[in-house]
């Protein structure tokens, strides 16, 4: 494919559908999402029948969101260190088993409010495991140029299901009971399992073993902490999830008590939200072209405040449905933009963890918001809680004045590829370490200020990619001699750190090299730290090289 079609792909909403794998998984996901929403209607309405308090009804939404907040980072580490396709299959099999068991227990009349919350929590656990691998895999199914359109189409997928699934769910629950809705959900996992099993992604050649789980999780946290763009997205995602979830969390009560309807009306209200969300998905591409990310975020917050106000004050289902449709538009505008921003701001090696932390922030906000707004509805009534949330949403728009979202033009985060594993005389294993690295520079006095500015960015990049105890030293006898010093736990970690540098980092490297006044490249010393007690186990050097 030449350059021109790729440019056009960026502005064609259906461009990802020309890629067979994405198309196959998309249609299978449509069936799965449809089943999931039917199950959600069954669970929410079942809780209104077996529980008496508003906060228990709101906890149905919280119990699905909470596992995503708690376990997404671990799932992201798994997605980055293991074959994502296998992780997705395992998650779908787990979800299938939980849904079958829930249907059986409900059919036998053994369900209680806390048992229902347990099963919705387990469904949330399976979703937490699946989502990072799935979202990170989208970039393997379509070219990077059409990634925003693919994310938008995935939003269309879910919200197309939302537009009809809840209504179908309401009919199923009203006519056959909640157990039938859970059984339908179980069956809906089968097409997606089949599609994923047929997908054969290119096998990535790994020269290093997977990171240990704890180290992988801390690496993800460190990368996000050293990436200001992603931190801002996480903050705004948390606030949006915390405030916007009130409409979905309290909608069963609005449908029953304020609009005097049953499960069918509740499903129709969710359908209005889904229709609005589909419109939002198709508008998101145009919004990204004509508006800044920050403008889209503010529009979404303000629009959702209008939605909550409509729902709180509407005397009939027609006006409530209109307000909920506005909320659906803003829901997708915000979440699709957040997702794309994270994906375009993160290299492939840590993408699963970055997306997982985004999910943790957003769904953590949803889980906390479901609980808080449920308590507020119990104390002050549903309409008052919605109006309070609308005011908080306006505050979420104002946060952008201090924590504005990053520009739309992404950095080139492809691997830099300049570094090669050095030849070493000392026999090392991959786990040998700690390793201290010293890089010597010769900097003329007139270039000192520019050098310090460049090294400030170098420090952020080194620490982001795994360096510890980073320091910059200056020779007291030869002031033009500077030494960059840092440590990594093992030789494998040193190799990983250097392989993680991206094309976007090249400018910093080139700037530092241009200031180096030596005739040769800066001298690099790689030192394995050894205690003086040579007899301590693991210190012998006569071992074969093993970097894997």
pLDDT at 543: 38
pLDDT at 475: 94
Residues 291-347 pLDDT 10s: 888 888 899 999 999 999 988 888 788 888 888 999 989 988 888 888 888 888 888
Calculate the average pLDDT of the chain: 84
Task: Kindly tell me if the per-residue pLDDT of 357 is higher than 80.
Answer: yes
pLDDT band per the 50, 70, 90 thresholds, residue 50: confident
Task: Kindly tell me if the per-residue pLDDT of 539 is higher than 50.
Answer: no
Contact assessment for residue 436 and residue 473, using Cβ atoms and an 8 Å cutoff: no
Spatial separation of the C-alpha atoms in residues 169 and 163, rounded to whole Å: 11
Q: What is the mean pLDDT of residues 146-171?
A: 78
Q: What is the mean pLDDT of residues 411-427?
A: 78
Contacts of 427 (CB under 8 A, 6+ apart): 541, 542, 543, 544, 545
H-helix or E-strand containing 138? helix 113-141
Contact assessment for residue 296 and residue 331, using Cβ atoms and an 8 Å cutoff: no
pLDDT at 162: 67
Spatial separation of the C-alpha atoms in residues 54 and 375, rounded to whole Å: 8
Spatial separation of the C-alpha atoms in residues 86 and 200, rounded to whole Å: 11
Contact assessment for residue 361 and residue 230, using Cβ atoms and an 8 Å cutoff: no
Residues 482-505 pLDDT 10s: 999 999 999 999 998 888 888 888
Task: Kindly tell me if the per-residue pLDDT of 4 is higher than 50.
Answer: no
pLDDT at 504: 84
Sign of CA dihedral 217, 219, 221, 227: negative
Report the first-to-last Cα separation within the chain, whole angstroms: 36
pLDDT band per the 50, 70, 90 thresholds, residue 410: low
Helix residue spans in 254-316 (DSSP H)? 263-290, 293-313
Contact assessment for residue 234 and residue 357, using Cβ atoms and an 8 Å cutoff: yes
Contact assessment for residue 271 and residue 163, using Cβ atoms and an 8 Å cutoff: yes
Task: Kindly tell me if the per-residue pLDDT of 96 is higher than 90.
Answer: yes
Q: What is the mean pLDDT of residues 214-232?
A: 86
Contacts of 496 (CB under 8 A, 6+ apart): 208, 211, 465, 466
Contact assessment for residue 377 and residue 250, using Cβ atoms and an 8 Å cutoff: yes
Spatial separation of the C-alpha atoms in residues 158 and 129, rounded to whole Å: 18
pLDDT at 141: 87
Contact assessment for residue 475 and residue 390, using Cβ atoms and an 8 Å cutoff: no
* Dihedral Cα 76, 203, 140, 79, nearest 10 deg: -10
Q: What is the mean pLDDT of residues 271-279?
A: 83
Task: Kindly tell me if the per-residue pLDDT of 481 is higher than 90.
Answer: yes
What is the chain's percent helix, strand, coil content, to nearest 5? 70, 5, 20
Contact assessment for residue 36 and residue 64, using Cβ atoms and an 8 Å cutoff: no
Q: Which two tokens stand for residue 70?
A: 């708690």
CA-nearest of 269, 253, 128, 131 to 192 is: 131
- Give 381's DSSP letter: -
pLDDT at 534: 53
Across 208-222, 263-277, 282-296, 450-464, which has the greatest mean pLDDT? 450-464
Least confident of 154-163, 168-177, 188-197, 467-476: 154-163
Contact assessment for residue 347 and residue 66, using Cβ atoms and an 8 Å cutoff: no
Q: Which two tokens stand for residue 4?
A: 């021109």
Beta pairing class for 481-488 and 435-442: antiparallel
- Give the residue, 289 or 459, on which the prediction is more confident: 459
Task: Kindly tell me if the per-residue pLDDT of 387 is higher than 80.
Answer: yes
Neighbours of 336 (CB within 10 A): 27
- pTM score: 0.75
Task: Kindly tell me if the per-residue pLDDT of 412 is higher than 60.
Answer: yes
- Give the residue, 165 or 391, on which the prediction is more confident: 391
Helices 20-50, 84-107: axis angle to 10 degrees equals 30
Contacts of 506 (CB under 8 A, 6+ apart): 416, 418
371 HSE (CA, 13 A, CB side): 10
- Give the residue, 15 or 457, on which the prediction is more confident: 457
Contact assessment for residue 164 and residue 5, using Cβ atoms and an 8 Å cutoff: no
Respond yes or no on whether the N-terminal peptide bond of residue 35 is cis (omega within 30° of 0). Answer: no
Residues 391-402 pLDDT 10s: 999 998 898 888
């Amino acid at each position: 494919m030449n350059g021109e079609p790729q440019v056009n792909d960026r502005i064609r909403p259906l461009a990802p559908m020309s890629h067979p794998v994405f198309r196959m998984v998309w249609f299978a996901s449509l069936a799965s999402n449809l089943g999931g929403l039917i199950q959600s209607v069954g669970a929410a309405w079942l809780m209104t029948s077996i529980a008496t308090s508003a906060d228990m009804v709101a906890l149905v939404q919280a119990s699905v969101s909470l596992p995503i907040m708690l376990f997404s980072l671990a799932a992201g580490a798994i997605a980055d260190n293991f074959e994502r396709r296998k992780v997705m299959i395992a998650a779908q099999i787990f979800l299938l088993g939980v849904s079958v068991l829930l249907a059986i227990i409900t059919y036998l009349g053994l369900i209680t409010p806390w048992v229902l919350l347990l099963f919705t929590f387990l469904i949330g656990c399976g979703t937490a495991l699946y989502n990072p691998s799935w979202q990170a895999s989208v970039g393997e199914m379509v070219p990077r140029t059409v990634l925003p359109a693919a994310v938008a189409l995935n939003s269309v997928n879910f919200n197309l299901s939302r537009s009809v699934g809840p209504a179908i769910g309401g009919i199923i629950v009203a006519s056959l009971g909640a157990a039938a809705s859970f059984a339908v959900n179980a069956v809906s996992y089968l097409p997606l399992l089949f599609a994923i099993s047929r997908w054969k992604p290119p096998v990535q050649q790994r020269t290093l073993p997977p990171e240990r789980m704890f180290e992988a999780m801390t690496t993800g946290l460190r990368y996000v902490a050293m990436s200001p763009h992603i931190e801002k997205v996480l903050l705004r995602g948390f606030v949006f999830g915390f405030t916007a979830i009130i409409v979905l969390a309290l909608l069963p009560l609005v449908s029953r008590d304020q609009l005097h309807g049953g499960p069918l009306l509740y499903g129709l209200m969710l359908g209005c939200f889904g229709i609005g969300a589909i419109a939002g998905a198709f508008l998101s591409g145009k919004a990204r072209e004509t508006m800044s990310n920050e403008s889209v975020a503010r529009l979404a917050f303000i629009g959702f405040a209008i939605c909550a106000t409509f729902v709180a004050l509407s005397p009939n289902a027609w006006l409530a449905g209109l307000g909920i449709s506005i909320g659906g538009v803003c829901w997708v505008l915000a979440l699709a933009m957040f997702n794309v921003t994270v994906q375009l701001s993160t290299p492939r090696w840590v993408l699963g963890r970055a997306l997982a932390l985004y999910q943790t922030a957003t769904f953590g906000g949803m889980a906390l918001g479901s609980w808080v707004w449920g308590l507020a509805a119990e104390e002050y009534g549903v309409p008052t809680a919605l109006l309070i949330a609308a005011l908080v949403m306006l505050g979420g728009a104002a946060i952008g004045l201090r924590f504005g979202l990053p520009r739309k033009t992404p950095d080139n985060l492809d691997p830099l590829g300049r570094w090669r594993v050095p030849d070493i005389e000392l026999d090392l294993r991959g786990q040998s370490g700690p390793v201290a690295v010293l890089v010597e520079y010769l900097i003329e006095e007139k270039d000192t200020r520019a050098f310090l500015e460049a090294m400030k960015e170098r420090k952020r990049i080194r620490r982001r990619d795994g360096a510890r105890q980073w320091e910059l030293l200056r020779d007291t006898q030869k002031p033009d001699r500077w030494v960059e010093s840092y440590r990594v736990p093992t030789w494998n970690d040193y190799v990983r750190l250097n392989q993680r540098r991206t094309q976007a980092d090249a400018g910093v490297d080139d700037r530092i090299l241009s200031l180096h006044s030596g005739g040769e490249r800066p001298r690099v010393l790689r030192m394995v730290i050894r205690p003086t007690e040579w007899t301590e186990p693991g210190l012998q050097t006569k071992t074969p090289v093993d970097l894997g």
